[in-house]
Chains A and B, each alone.
Chain A
Amino acid sequence: MRRGQIILFNCLAMIAAGLFLWLAKDTFDGYKIQILNLIAINIILALSLNLIYGFTGLFSLGHAGFMAIGAYVCSILIMTPDQKDMLFILEPAYDWVQNAQAPFLAAVIAGGLAAALAGIIVGYPLLRLGDDYLGIATLGFAEIVRVLANNFPRLTNGALGFKGIPDYANLWWNFGWCLVTLYVIVRLLQSNTGNVLKAIRDDEAAARAMGVNVFRYKLLSFTVGAFFAGVGGALLASLLTTIDPKMFLFTLTFNILMIVVAGGLGSLSGTVMAGIGITVLLEWLRVVENPVDLFGFELPGVPGMRMVVFSLALIIIILFRREGLMGMRELSWQSVARVFSRGKA
Protein backbone atom coordinates (compact mmCIF):
# COMPACT_ATOMS: atom_id res chain seq x y z
CA MET A 1 0.00 0.00 0.00
CA ARG A 2 1.36 3.40 -0.94
CA ARG A 3 2.26 6.05 1.61
CA GLY A 4 -0.25 8.53 0.17
CA GLN A 5 -3.05 6.03 0.65
CA ILE A 6 -2.04 5.39 4.26
CA ILE A 7 -2.02 9.12 5.01
CA LEU A 8 -5.44 9.44 3.36
CA PHE A 9 -6.86 6.59 5.44
CA ASN A 10 -5.38 8.05 8.61
CA CYS A 11 -6.98 11.42 7.85
CA LEU A 12 -10.33 9.76 7.15
CA ALA A 13 -10.11 7.85 10.43
CA MET A 14 -9.36 11.06 12.30
CA ILE A 15 -12.28 12.84 10.66
CA ALA A 16 -14.57 9.93 11.53
CA ALA A 17 -13.39 9.99 15.15
CA GLY A 18 -13.84 13.77 15.23
CA LEU A 19 -17.38 13.48 13.88
CA PHE A 20 -18.18 10.82 16.45
CA LEU A 21 -16.93 13.04 19.27
CA TRP A 22 -18.85 16.00 17.91
CA LEU A 23 -22.05 13.96 17.87
CA ALA A 24 -21.30 12.40 21.23
CA LYS A 25 -20.78 15.80 22.82
CA ASP A 26 -24.40 16.75 22.19
CA THR A 27 -26.23 13.43 22.38
CA PHE A 28 -24.48 11.46 25.16
CA ASP A 29 -25.27 12.06 28.81
CA GLY A 30 -22.60 13.30 31.23
CA TYR A 31 -21.75 9.81 32.47
CA LYS A 32 -21.02 8.45 29.01
CA ILE A 33 -18.98 11.51 28.12
CA GLN A 34 -16.98 11.01 31.30
CA ILE A 35 -16.22 7.45 30.17
CA LEU A 36 -15.09 8.72 26.77
CA ASN A 37 -12.78 11.18 28.51
CA LEU A 38 -11.36 8.44 30.70
CA ILE A 39 -10.78 6.29 27.61
CA ALA A 40 -8.65 9.04 26.07
CA ILE A 41 -6.62 9.54 29.25
CA ASN A 42 -6.16 5.83 29.85
CA ILE A 43 -4.92 5.39 26.28
CA ILE A 44 -2.37 8.18 26.80
CA LEU A 45 -1.15 6.55 30.01
CA ALA A 46 -1.08 3.04 28.60
CA LEU A 47 0.77 4.12 25.45
CA SER A 48 3.44 5.79 27.55
CA LEU A 49 3.82 2.70 29.75
CA ASN A 50 3.95 0.43 26.71
CA LEU A 51 6.79 2.52 25.30
CA ILE A 52 8.76 1.96 28.51
CA TYR A 53 7.79 -1.64 29.28
CA GLY A 54 6.58 -3.19 26.04
CA PHE A 55 9.02 -1.66 23.57
CA THR A 56 12.13 -1.05 25.64
CA GLY A 57 11.68 -3.89 28.14
CA LEU A 58 12.02 -1.71 31.22
CA PHE A 59 9.76 -3.10 33.92
CA SER A 60 8.62 0.17 35.46
CA LEU A 61 5.93 0.50 38.09
CA GLY A 62 6.36 4.22 38.69
CA HIS A 63 3.53 5.50 36.54
CA ALA A 64 1.37 6.73 39.41
CA GLY A 65 4.30 8.85 40.59
CA PHE A 66 4.74 10.55 37.21
CA MET A 67 0.98 11.08 36.98
CA ALA A 68 0.92 12.66 40.42
CA ILE A 69 3.68 15.08 39.47
CA GLY A 70 1.87 16.05 36.27
CA ALA A 71 -1.44 16.39 38.07
CA TYR A 72 -0.11 18.61 40.88
CA VAL A 73 1.96 20.85 38.62
CA CYS A 74 -0.90 21.37 36.19
CA SER A 75 -3.47 21.98 38.95
CA ILE A 76 -1.30 24.59 40.67
CA LEU A 77 -0.88 26.39 37.36
CA ILE A 78 -4.53 26.49 36.33
CA MET A 79 -6.11 27.44 39.66
CA THR A 80 -6.44 31.18 40.27
CA PRO A 81 -4.49 32.81 43.14
CA ASP A 82 -7.79 33.56 44.91
CA GLN A 83 -8.79 29.91 44.67
CA LYS A 84 -5.47 28.81 46.12
CA ASP A 85 -5.84 31.37 48.90
CA MET A 86 -9.08 29.67 49.96
CA LEU A 87 -7.75 26.17 49.41
CA PHE A 88 -4.56 26.09 51.44
CA ILE A 89 -6.07 25.95 54.90
CA LEU A 90 -3.48 23.75 56.59
CA GLU A 91 -0.64 26.14 55.90
CA PRO A 92 -0.44 29.01 53.44
CA ALA A 93 1.07 28.13 50.07
CA TYR A 94 4.54 29.28 49.10
CA ASP A 95 4.41 32.60 47.33
CA TRP A 96 5.53 31.15 44.04
CA VAL A 97 2.89 28.43 44.28
CA GLN A 98 0.31 31.04 45.17
CA ASN A 99 1.13 33.27 42.22
CA ALA A 100 1.95 30.71 39.54
CA GLN A 101 -0.56 30.69 36.76
CA ALA A 102 -0.63 29.53 33.16
CA PRO A 103 -3.14 28.74 30.43
CA PHE A 104 -4.34 25.14 30.28
CA LEU A 105 -2.19 24.06 27.32
CA ALA A 106 0.98 25.42 28.94
CA ALA A 107 -0.01 23.91 32.28
CA VAL A 108 -0.42 20.43 30.79
CA ILE A 109 2.92 20.72 29.00
CA ALA A 110 4.52 21.94 32.23
CA GLY A 111 3.04 18.93 34.04
CA GLY A 112 4.53 16.65 31.40
CA LEU A 113 7.91 18.36 31.55
CA ALA A 114 8.00 18.16 35.34
CA ALA A 115 7.27 14.43 35.14
CA ALA A 116 9.93 14.03 32.43
CA LEU A 117 12.45 15.81 34.64
CA ALA A 118 11.55 13.45 37.48
CA GLY A 119 11.99 10.61 34.97
CA ILE A 120 15.53 11.76 34.21
CA ILE A 121 16.38 12.21 37.89
CA VAL A 122 15.16 8.79 38.99
CA GLY A 123 16.12 7.10 35.74
CA TYR A 124 19.72 8.15 36.03
CA PRO A 125 20.52 5.92 39.01
CA LEU A 126 17.72 3.34 38.55
CA LEU A 127 18.05 2.40 34.89
CA ARG A 128 21.34 0.68 35.63
CA LEU A 129 19.30 -1.91 37.51
CA GLY A 130 18.02 -5.07 35.86
CA ASP A 131 14.43 -6.20 35.38
CA ASP A 132 12.84 -6.96 38.73
CA TYR A 133 15.01 -4.57 40.70
CA LEU A 134 13.93 -1.75 38.43
CA GLY A 135 10.28 -2.66 39.07
CA ILE A 136 10.75 -2.53 42.83
CA ALA A 137 12.77 0.69 42.73
CA THR A 138 10.28 2.53 40.52
CA LEU A 139 7.46 1.30 42.72
CA GLY A 140 9.36 2.90 45.60
CA PHE A 141 9.69 6.10 43.61
CA ALA A 142 5.93 6.35 43.10
CA GLU A 143 5.41 5.81 46.80
CA ILE A 144 7.97 8.52 47.65
CA VAL A 145 6.12 11.00 45.44
CA ARG A 146 2.88 10.18 47.23
CA VAL A 147 4.43 10.56 50.69
CA LEU A 148 6.01 13.86 49.69
CA ALA A 149 2.65 15.11 48.43
CA ASN A 150 1.21 14.20 51.81
CA ASN A 151 3.89 16.02 53.77
CA PHE A 152 4.47 19.26 51.91
CA PRO A 153 1.27 21.14 52.75
CA ARG A 154 2.65 24.45 51.53
CA LEU A 155 3.07 22.97 48.06
CA THR A 156 0.34 20.34 47.82
CA ASN A 157 -2.08 21.15 50.60
CA GLY A 158 -1.12 17.84 52.24
CA ALA A 159 -3.64 15.06 52.60
CA LEU A 160 -6.51 17.37 51.72
CA GLY A 161 -5.33 17.75 48.15
CA PHE A 162 -6.92 20.15 45.70
CA LYS A 163 -10.59 20.70 45.06
CA GLY A 164 -12.33 22.76 42.44
CA ILE A 165 -9.62 22.45 39.82
CA PRO A 166 -10.96 24.15 36.67
CA ASP A 167 -12.53 21.54 34.39
CA TYR A 168 -10.89 22.51 31.15
CA ALA A 169 -10.20 18.91 30.11
CA ASN A 170 -13.11 18.29 27.78
CA LEU A 171 -13.38 15.73 24.96
CA TRP A 172 -11.37 17.86 22.54
CA TRP A 173 -8.45 18.41 24.87
CA ASN A 174 -8.30 14.78 25.95
CA PHE A 175 -8.61 13.25 22.52
CA GLY A 176 -6.34 15.93 21.09
CA TRP A 177 -3.61 14.94 23.53
CA CYS A 178 -4.38 11.29 22.88
CA LEU A 179 -3.73 11.91 19.19
CA VAL A 180 -0.51 13.80 19.92
CA THR A 181 0.71 10.96 22.16
CA LEU A 182 -0.14 8.34 19.57
CA TYR A 183 1.53 10.33 16.80
CA VAL A 184 4.74 11.04 18.70
CA ILE A 185 5.12 7.47 19.95
CA VAL A 186 4.31 5.94 16.55
CA ARG A 187 6.85 8.18 14.82
CA LEU A 188 9.43 7.50 17.51
CA LEU A 189 8.98 3.76 17.16
CA GLN A 190 8.93 3.83 13.36
CA SER A 191 12.21 5.73 13.28
CA ASN A 192 15.48 3.91 13.66
CA THR A 193 15.51 5.00 17.30
CA GLY A 194 12.47 2.77 17.75
CA ASN A 195 14.37 -0.13 16.21
CA VAL A 196 17.17 0.50 18.69
CA LEU A 197 14.75 0.47 21.65
CA LYS A 198 13.35 -2.87 20.49
CA ALA A 199 16.90 -4.16 20.04
CA ILE A 200 17.61 -3.34 23.69
CA ARG A 201 14.48 -5.24 24.67
CA ASP A 202 15.41 -8.26 22.55
CA ASP A 203 19.11 -8.60 23.40
CA GLU A 204 20.88 -5.98 25.40
CA ALA A 205 24.38 -7.44 24.97
CA ALA A 206 24.03 -7.64 21.21
CA ALA A 207 22.73 -4.07 21.14
CA ARG A 208 25.81 -2.90 23.02
CA ALA A 209 28.05 -4.76 20.59
CA MET A 210 26.27 -2.96 17.75
CA GLY A 211 27.32 0.38 19.18
CA VAL A 212 24.14 1.21 21.07
CA ASN A 213 24.65 3.36 24.13
CA VAL A 214 22.08 1.29 25.99
CA PHE A 215 21.81 3.53 29.03
CA ARG A 216 21.17 6.64 26.95
CA TYR A 217 18.37 5.01 25.00
CA LYS A 218 16.78 3.54 28.11
CA LEU A 219 16.81 7.01 29.65
CA LEU A 220 15.26 8.44 26.49
CA SER A 221 12.43 5.92 26.47
CA PHE A 222 11.86 6.34 30.20
CA THR A 223 11.78 10.13 29.93
CA VAL A 224 9.42 10.27 26.96
CA GLY A 225 7.17 7.77 28.75
CA ALA A 226 7.28 9.86 31.91
CA PHE A 227 6.40 12.99 29.95
CA PHE A 228 3.20 11.49 28.60
CA ALA A 229 2.37 9.94 31.97
CA GLY A 230 2.63 13.48 33.39
CA VAL A 231 0.38 14.79 30.62
CA GLY A 232 -2.15 12.06 31.40
CA GLY A 233 -2.05 12.93 35.08
CA ALA A 234 -2.54 16.62 34.30
CA LEU A 235 -5.58 15.93 32.14
CA LEU A 236 -6.98 13.56 34.74
CA ALA A 237 -6.69 16.25 37.44
CA SER A 238 -8.61 18.75 35.34
CA LEU A 239 -11.19 16.14 34.34
CA LEU A 240 -11.93 14.99 37.90
CA THR A 241 -11.44 18.54 39.31
CA THR A 242 -10.17 17.06 42.57
CA ILE A 243 -6.93 15.31 43.47
CA ASP A 244 -5.32 14.12 46.67
CA PRO A 245 -2.34 11.87 47.48
CA LYS A 246 -4.55 8.82 48.05
CA MET A 247 -5.59 8.89 44.40
CA PHE A 248 -2.06 8.00 43.29
CA LEU A 249 -1.76 4.64 44.99
CA PHE A 250 -0.27 1.60 43.29
CA THR A 251 -3.72 0.55 42.03
CA LEU A 252 -3.56 3.41 39.54
CA THR A 253 -0.37 2.01 38.03
CA PHE A 254 -1.93 -1.44 38.14
CA ASN A 255 -4.91 -0.31 36.03
CA ILE A 256 -2.59 1.05 33.37
CA LEU A 257 -0.39 -2.04 33.49
CA MET A 258 -3.47 -4.17 32.98
CA ILE A 259 -4.38 -2.27 29.80
CA VAL A 260 -0.84 -2.67 28.47
CA VAL A 261 -0.65 -6.40 29.22
CA ALA A 262 -4.16 -7.07 27.89
CA GLY A 263 -3.47 -5.16 24.69
CA GLY A 264 -0.09 -6.74 24.12
CA LEU A 265 3.36 -5.70 25.27
CA GLY A 266 4.83 -4.13 22.18
CA SER A 267 1.62 -3.34 20.29
CA LEU A 268 0.31 0.22 20.11
CA SER A 269 -2.93 -0.70 18.37
CA GLY A 270 -3.48 -3.39 21.00
CA THR A 271 -3.02 -0.75 23.69
CA VAL A 272 -5.61 1.53 22.08
CA MET A 273 -8.13 -1.30 21.81
CA ALA A 274 -7.52 -2.53 25.34
CA GLY A 275 -7.68 1.06 26.59
CA ILE A 276 -11.17 1.40 25.19
CA GLY A 277 -12.29 -2.08 26.27
CA ILE A 278 -10.97 -2.02 29.81
CA THR A 279 -12.12 1.51 30.58
CA VAL A 280 -15.63 0.59 29.50
CA LEU A 281 -15.51 -2.71 31.41
CA LEU A 282 -14.24 -1.00 34.58
CA GLU A 283 -17.38 1.14 34.56
CA TRP A 284 -19.75 -1.57 33.44
CA LEU A 285 -18.45 -3.94 36.12
CA ARG A 286 -19.62 -1.59 38.85
CA VAL A 287 -22.69 -3.84 38.68
CA VAL A 288 -20.81 -6.56 40.59
CA GLU A 289 -20.31 -4.17 43.49
CA ASN A 290 -24.03 -3.64 43.94
CA PRO A 291 -26.05 -5.81 46.32
CA VAL A 292 -27.52 -8.74 44.43
CA ASP A 293 -30.69 -10.68 45.04
CA LEU A 294 -29.90 -14.32 44.32
CA PHE A 295 -32.86 -16.74 44.63
CA GLY A 296 -34.20 -14.83 47.58
CA PHE A 297 -30.80 -14.49 49.29
CA GLU A 298 -29.66 -10.93 49.68
CA LEU A 299 -25.92 -10.70 49.00
CA PRO A 300 -24.40 -7.43 50.18
CA GLY A 301 -22.42 -5.38 47.69
CA VAL A 302 -18.66 -5.57 48.15
CA PRO A 303 -16.79 -2.36 47.33
CA GLY A 304 -13.69 -3.11 45.28
CA MET A 305 -15.18 -6.31 43.89
CA ARG A 306 -14.52 -5.22 40.32
CA MET A 307 -10.83 -4.99 41.07
CA VAL A 308 -10.97 -8.63 42.17
CA VAL A 309 -12.64 -9.51 38.90
CA PHE A 310 -9.99 -7.58 37.02
CA SER A 311 -7.10 -9.15 38.87
CA LEU A 312 -8.55 -12.54 38.00
CA ALA A 313 -8.87 -11.46 34.39
CA LEU A 314 -5.21 -10.43 34.37
CA ILE A 315 -4.16 -13.79 35.80
CA ILE A 316 -6.21 -15.56 33.14
CA ILE A 317 -4.64 -13.44 30.39
CA ILE A 318 -1.15 -14.26 31.65
CA LEU A 319 -1.96 -17.97 31.93
CA PHE A 320 -3.71 -18.48 28.62
CA ARG A 321 -2.75 -15.67 26.30
CA ARG A 322 0.46 -14.18 27.52
CA GLU A 323 0.98 -12.05 24.44
CA GLY A 324 -2.30 -10.23 25.08
CA LEU A 325 -4.79 -9.14 22.47
CA MET A 326 -2.29 -8.29 19.74
CA GLY A 327 1.07 -9.65 20.91
CA MET A 328 3.70 -7.60 19.12
CA ARG A 329 1.62 -7.25 15.98
CA GLU A 330 0.07 -4.00 14.88
CA LEU A 331 -3.26 -3.38 13.26
CA SER A 332 -2.41 -1.44 10.12
CA TRP A 333 -4.32 -0.43 7.02
CA GLN A 334 -2.38 -3.11 5.16
CA SER A 335 -3.64 -5.83 7.48
CA VAL A 336 -7.20 -4.49 7.22
CA ALA A 337 -6.90 -4.48 3.44
CA ARG A 338 -5.62 -8.08 3.49
CA VAL A 339 -8.63 -9.23 5.49
CA PHE A 340 -10.98 -7.59 2.99
CA SER A 341 -9.21 -8.95 -0.08
CA ARG A 342 -9.25 -12.43 1.45
CA GLY A 343 -13.00 -12.03 1.95
CA LYS A 344 -13.41 -11.35 -1.77
CA ALA A 345 -11.28 -14.26 -2.93
Chain B
Amino acid sequence: MADDIILATDDVTMRFGGLAAVTDFSIAVKRGSIAGLIGPNGAGKTTCFNMITGFYKPTEGRILYEGREVTGLAPHKVCKAGIARTFQNIRLFGNETVLENVMIGRHLRQKTGWLQAVLFTPAYLREDKAMRSHCLELLDAVGLADLADDKANSLAYGAQRRLEIARALATDPGFLLLDEPAAGMNPHESQDLMGFVRTIRDDFNLTILLIEHDMKVVMGICEHIWVLDYGVTIAQGNPEAIRRDPKVILAYLGEEALDHA
Protein backbone atom coordinates (compact mmCIF):
# COMPACT_ATOMS: atom_id res chain seq x y z
CA MET B 1 0.00 0.00 0.00
CA ALA B 2 1.21 3.45 -0.80
CA ASP B 3 2.77 5.31 2.10
CA ASP B 4 0.55 8.36 1.82
CA ILE B 5 -2.61 6.30 2.38
CA ILE B 6 -3.45 6.21 6.09
CA LEU B 7 -6.70 4.24 5.95
CA ALA B 8 -7.86 1.87 3.28
CA THR B 9 -10.86 -0.42 3.05
CA ASP B 10 -10.80 -3.28 0.64
CA ASP B 11 -14.19 -4.44 -0.72
CA VAL B 12 -15.82 -4.28 2.70
CA THR B 13 -19.32 -5.69 2.82
CA MET B 14 -21.76 -5.73 5.71
CA ARG B 15 -24.85 -7.92 5.62
CA PHE B 16 -27.50 -8.03 8.31
CA GLY B 17 -29.28 -11.30 7.58
CA GLY B 18 -30.39 -10.97 3.97
CA LEU B 19 -29.96 -7.21 3.85
CA ALA B 20 -26.72 -5.91 2.40
CA ALA B 21 -26.27 -2.60 4.23
CA VAL B 22 -22.93 -1.84 2.58
CA THR B 23 -21.51 -3.59 -0.48
CA ASP B 24 -17.90 -3.58 -1.68
CA PHE B 25 -16.95 -0.40 0.12
CA SER B 26 -13.44 0.53 -0.96
CA ILE B 27 -11.84 3.80 0.01
CA ALA B 28 -8.30 5.04 0.40
CA VAL B 29 -7.87 8.13 2.56
CA LYS B 30 -4.76 10.23 2.05
CA ARG B 31 -2.69 11.10 5.09
CA GLY B 32 -3.43 14.59 6.35
CA SER B 33 -6.52 15.08 4.22
CA ILE B 34 -10.10 15.86 5.13
CA ALA B 35 -12.38 13.42 3.36
CA GLY B 36 -16.15 13.17 3.21
CA LEU B 37 -18.62 10.35 3.09
CA ILE B 38 -22.03 11.45 1.88
CA GLY B 39 -25.25 9.92 0.70
CA PRO B 40 -29.00 10.03 1.30
CA ASN B 41 -30.46 8.83 4.60
CA GLY B 42 -30.07 5.11 5.11
CA ALA B 43 -27.29 4.81 2.55
CA GLY B 44 -25.04 2.99 5.03
CA LYS B 45 -22.66 5.79 6.03
CA THR B 46 -22.82 5.19 9.75
CA THR B 47 -22.55 1.45 9.12
CA CYS B 48 -19.23 2.15 7.44
CA PHE B 49 -18.10 4.14 10.48
CA ASN B 50 -19.17 1.31 12.75
CA MET B 51 -17.16 -1.17 10.72
CA ILE B 52 -14.05 0.98 10.69
CA THR B 53 -14.23 1.54 14.46
CA GLY B 54 -14.88 -2.12 15.29
CA PHE B 55 -18.51 -1.84 16.41
CA TYR B 56 -19.50 -4.12 13.52
CA LYS B 57 -17.39 -6.93 12.14
CA PRO B 58 -17.62 -6.76 8.35
CA THR B 59 -19.04 -9.83 6.63
CA GLU B 60 -16.37 -9.59 3.97
CA GLY B 61 -13.37 -7.45 3.15
CA ARG B 62 -10.46 -5.93 5.00
CA ILE B 63 -9.76 -2.63 6.70
CA LEU B 64 -6.17 -1.42 6.91
CA TYR B 65 -4.95 1.39 9.12
CA GLU B 66 -1.33 2.47 8.65
CA GLY B 67 -0.85 -0.74 6.69
CA ARG B 68 -2.01 -2.84 9.63
CA GLU B 69 -5.16 -4.90 9.46
CA VAL B 70 -7.78 -3.73 11.97
CA THR B 71 -10.74 -5.67 10.53
CA GLY B 72 -12.99 -6.98 13.30
CA LEU B 73 -10.82 -5.74 16.18
CA ALA B 74 -12.75 -4.78 19.33
CA PRO B 75 -13.59 -1.04 19.43
CA HIS B 76 -11.16 -0.32 22.27
CA LYS B 77 -8.33 -1.91 20.31
CA VAL B 78 -9.18 0.07 17.19
CA CYS B 79 -9.13 3.19 19.33
CA LYS B 80 -5.77 2.24 20.78
CA ALA B 81 -4.44 1.75 17.26
CA GLY B 82 -5.23 5.42 16.63
CA ILE B 83 -8.76 5.70 15.22
CA ALA B 84 -11.14 7.88 17.22
CA ARG B 85 -14.72 8.85 16.49
CA THR B 86 -17.68 10.98 17.47
CA PHE B 87 -21.32 9.94 17.31
CA GLN B 88 -24.23 11.15 15.23
CA ASN B 89 -26.38 11.57 18.34
CA ILE B 90 -23.93 13.02 20.84
CA ARG B 91 -22.83 10.44 23.39
CA LEU B 92 -21.09 12.16 26.26
CA PHE B 93 -20.74 10.84 29.79
CA GLY B 94 -23.47 13.14 31.05
CA ASN B 95 -23.01 12.79 34.81
CA GLU B 96 -19.31 13.58 34.65
CA THR B 97 -17.66 16.96 34.40
CA VAL B 98 -16.31 18.32 31.13
CA LEU B 99 -12.73 17.71 32.28
CA GLU B 100 -13.53 14.16 33.41
CA ASN B 101 -14.99 13.40 30.00
CA VAL B 102 -11.72 14.34 28.36
CA MET B 103 -9.73 12.43 30.97
CA ILE B 104 -11.73 9.29 30.23
CA GLY B 105 -10.55 9.61 26.65
CA ARG B 106 -7.00 10.05 27.92
CA HIS B 107 -7.02 6.97 30.17
CA LEU B 108 -6.01 4.86 27.18
CA ARG B 109 -2.54 6.43 27.24
CA GLN B 110 -2.25 6.34 31.02
CA LYS B 111 0.44 4.07 32.42
CA THR B 112 -0.28 4.13 36.17
CA GLY B 113 -3.40 2.49 37.53
CA TRP B 114 -5.77 2.74 40.48
CA LEU B 115 -3.55 0.77 42.85
CA GLN B 116 -0.90 3.43 42.52
CA ALA B 117 -3.62 6.00 43.20
CA VAL B 118 -4.53 4.20 46.42
CA LEU B 119 -0.86 4.05 47.45
CA PHE B 120 -0.16 7.67 46.43
CA THR B 121 2.95 6.69 44.48
CA PRO B 122 4.99 9.60 43.08
CA ALA B 123 4.73 8.17 39.54
CA TYR B 124 0.94 8.27 39.78
CA LEU B 125 0.79 11.80 41.15
CA ARG B 126 3.15 13.00 38.44
CA GLU B 127 1.21 11.38 35.65
CA ASP B 128 -2.14 12.50 37.05
CA LYS B 129 -0.96 16.10 37.16
CA ALA B 130 0.47 15.94 33.64
CA MET B 131 -2.71 14.32 32.38
CA ARG B 132 -4.92 16.99 33.91
CA SER B 133 -2.95 19.82 32.36
CA HIS B 134 -2.87 18.05 29.00
CA CYS B 135 -6.65 17.61 29.09
CA LEU B 136 -7.10 21.26 30.06
CA GLU B 137 -4.99 22.21 27.06
CA LEU B 138 -7.26 20.14 24.85
CA LEU B 139 -10.30 21.88 26.33
CA ASP B 140 -8.60 25.18 25.66
CA ALA B 141 -8.07 24.13 22.03
CA VAL B 142 -11.80 23.56 21.59
CA GLY B 143 -12.71 26.64 23.63
CA LEU B 144 -14.21 24.91 26.64
CA ALA B 145 -11.51 25.53 29.26
CA ASP B 146 -13.80 27.82 31.27
CA LEU B 147 -16.41 25.11 31.59
CA ALA B 148 -14.02 22.37 32.77
CA ASP B 149 -15.86 21.77 36.05
CA ASP B 150 -19.40 21.91 34.65
CA LYS B 151 -21.40 18.77 34.14
CA ALA B 152 -21.24 17.56 30.56
CA ASN B 153 -25.01 17.36 30.11
CA SER B 154 -25.43 20.97 31.22
CA LEU B 155 -23.54 22.25 28.17
CA ALA B 156 -25.19 23.88 25.17
CA TYR B 157 -25.56 21.75 22.07
CA GLY B 158 -22.65 23.18 20.12
CA ALA B 159 -20.38 22.94 23.17
CA GLN B 160 -21.34 19.28 23.59
CA ARG B 161 -20.26 18.62 20.00
CA ARG B 162 -16.93 20.28 20.63
CA LEU B 163 -16.47 18.38 23.90
CA GLU B 164 -17.05 15.14 22.05
CA ILE B 165 -14.28 16.10 19.66
CA ALA B 166 -11.97 17.07 22.54
CA ARG B 167 -12.66 13.71 24.16
CA ALA B 168 -11.76 11.94 20.92
CA LEU B 169 -8.59 14.02 20.60
CA ALA B 170 -7.54 12.94 24.09
CA THR B 171 -7.01 9.40 22.82
CA ASP B 172 -4.15 10.69 20.64
CA PRO B 173 -5.68 9.61 17.35
CA GLY B 174 -4.06 9.72 13.95
CA PHE B 175 -7.40 9.33 12.24
CA LEU B 176 -10.63 10.97 13.32
CA LEU B 177 -14.14 10.03 12.20
CA LEU B 178 -16.77 12.72 12.64
CA ASP B 179 -20.37 11.61 12.30
CA GLU B 180 -22.44 14.63 11.23
CA PRO B 181 -20.49 17.28 13.13
CA ALA B 182 -22.66 20.09 11.78
CA ALA B 183 -26.02 18.47 12.59
CA GLY B 184 -28.34 20.94 14.26
CA MET B 185 -26.11 23.93 13.62
CA ASN B 186 -27.18 27.17 11.98
CA PRO B 187 -25.24 28.45 8.92
CA HIS B 188 -23.10 30.71 11.05
CA GLU B 189 -22.15 27.90 13.41
CA SER B 190 -21.37 25.50 10.60
CA GLN B 191 -19.13 28.17 9.09
CA ASP B 192 -17.20 28.24 12.38
CA LEU B 193 -17.13 24.47 12.42
CA MET B 194 -15.37 24.34 9.05
CA GLY B 195 -12.57 26.49 10.37
CA PHE B 196 -12.45 24.48 13.55
CA VAL B 197 -12.12 21.14 11.73
CA ARG B 198 -9.27 22.51 9.63
CA THR B 199 -7.53 23.87 12.72
CA ILE B 200 -7.60 20.60 14.63
CA ARG B 201 -6.44 18.74 11.52
CA ASP B 202 -3.38 21.00 11.33
CA ASP B 203 -2.70 21.26 15.07
CA PHE B 204 -3.01 17.56 15.84
CA ASN B 205 -1.64 16.12 12.58
CA LEU B 206 -4.90 14.37 11.89
CA THR B 207 -6.56 12.78 8.95
CA ILE B 208 -10.31 13.33 9.11
CA LEU B 209 -13.18 11.44 7.54
CA LEU B 210 -16.58 12.95 8.09
CA ILE B 211 -20.19 12.14 7.37
CA GLU B 212 -22.23 15.24 6.71
CA HIS B 213 -25.52 16.27 5.19
CA ASP B 214 -24.75 19.97 5.07
CA MET B 215 -23.42 20.27 1.51
CA LYS B 216 -21.88 23.67 2.16
CA VAL B 217 -19.69 22.11 4.81
CA VAL B 218 -18.86 19.03 2.76
CA MET B 219 -17.98 20.95 -0.38
CA GLY B 220 -16.18 23.57 1.68
CA ILE B 221 -13.67 21.44 3.54
CA CYS B 222 -13.44 17.99 1.98
CA GLU B 223 -10.65 17.31 -0.45
CA HIS B 224 -12.05 13.98 -1.54
CA ILE B 225 -15.60 12.67 -1.31
CA TRP B 226 -17.18 9.23 -1.53
CA VAL B 227 -20.89 8.96 -2.24
CA LEU B 228 -22.95 6.04 -0.99
CA ASP B 229 -26.43 5.08 -2.09
CA TYR B 230 -28.14 1.92 -0.87
CA GLY B 231 -24.79 0.71 0.41
CA VAL B 232 -23.10 1.01 -2.96
CA THR B 233 -20.35 3.54 -3.69
CA ILE B 234 -21.81 5.40 -6.66
CA ALA B 235 -19.19 8.09 -7.05
CA GLN B 236 -15.95 9.48 -5.73
CA GLY B 237 -13.76 12.43 -6.49
CA ASN B 238 -13.08 16.03 -5.53
CA PRO B 239 -16.00 18.29 -4.61
CA GLU B 240 -16.23 19.81 -8.09
CA ALA B 241 -16.52 16.41 -9.77
CA ILE B 242 -19.09 15.20 -7.22
CA ARG B 243 -21.23 18.31 -7.70
CA ARG B 244 -21.52 17.61 -11.41
CA ASP B 245 -21.78 13.82 -11.25
CA PRO B 246 -25.17 12.80 -12.72
CA LYS B 247 -25.39 9.70 -10.51
CA VAL B 248 -25.04 11.81 -7.39
CA ILE B 249 -27.69 14.25 -8.55
CA LEU B 250 -29.93 11.32 -9.36
CA ALA B 251 -29.46 9.77 -5.93
CA TYR B 252 -30.11 13.03 -4.11
CA LEU B 253 -32.78 14.70 -6.20
CA GLY B 254 -34.37 12.02 -8.40
CA GLU B 255 -34.69 11.60 -12.15
CA GLU B 256 -36.60 14.77 -12.95
CA ALA B 257 -33.90 16.95 -11.52
CA LEU B 258 -31.48 15.33 -13.90
CA ASP B 259 -33.71 16.11 -16.88
CA HIS B 260 -33.82 19.75 -15.90
CA ALA B 261 -30.14 19.99 -15.23
Contact = CB atoms under 8 A, between A and B. Distances in A.
A, B from the same assembly:
yes
Interface of A: 183-184, 187-188, 190-196, 198-199, 201-203, 205-214, 220, 266, 328
Contacts of B171: 210-211
Nearest to A188: B114
B104 A195 contact: yes
A187 B85 contact: no
A117 to B, nearest CB: 17
A196 B107 contact: yes
Contacts of A203: 91-94
Given A191-B128, A193-B114, A211 B91 contact: no
Contacts of A187: 114, 117-118
A202 B117 contact: no
B152 to A, nearest CB: 9
Given A184-B118, A210-B167, A212-B107, A202 B94 contact: yes
Nearest to B99: A195
Of A183, A196, A206, chain B has the most CB atoms within 10 Å of the CB of A206
Interface of B: 53, 55, 74-76, 79-80, 84-85, 87, 91-96, 100, 103-108, 110, 113-114, 117-118, 124, 128, 131, 167-168, 171
Contacts of B75: 208-209, 211
Given A198-B100, A212-B107, A213-B74, 4 more contacts: A199-B104, A202-B96, A205-B55, A210-B104
Per DSSP, chain B at the interface is helix
Nearest to A191: B117
Contacts of A207: 93, 104
A183 B80 CA distance: 31
Given A192-B107, A195-B96, A205 B118 contact: no
B91 A192 contact: no
A221 to B, nearest CB: 10
Contacts of B87: 206, 209
Contact of B76 (A195, A208, A220): A208
A195 B100 contact: yes
Of A187, A194, A195, A213, chain B has the most CB atoms within 10 Å of the CB of A195
B104 A212 contact: yes
Contacts of A196: 104, 107
Nearest to B108: A211
B95 A266 contact: yes
Nearest to A224: B114
A92 to B, nearest CB: 41
B93 A202 contact: yes
Given A191-B128, A196-B104, A205-B91, A213 B76 contact: yes
A213 B168 CA distance: 16
B108 to A, nearest CB: 4
B106 A192 contact: yes
Closest 8 interchain pairs by CB?
A: A211-B79, A191-B117, A211-B108, A193-B114, A206-B91, A208-B75, A202-B93, A187-B118
Nearest to B113: A193
B155 to A, nearest CB: 15
A192 B103 contact: yes
Of B100, B104, B108, chain A has the most CB atoms within 10 Å of the CB of B104
A233 B53 CA distance: 44
Contact of B93 (A190, A199, A214): A199
Nearest to B86: A209
Contacts of B92: 203, 206
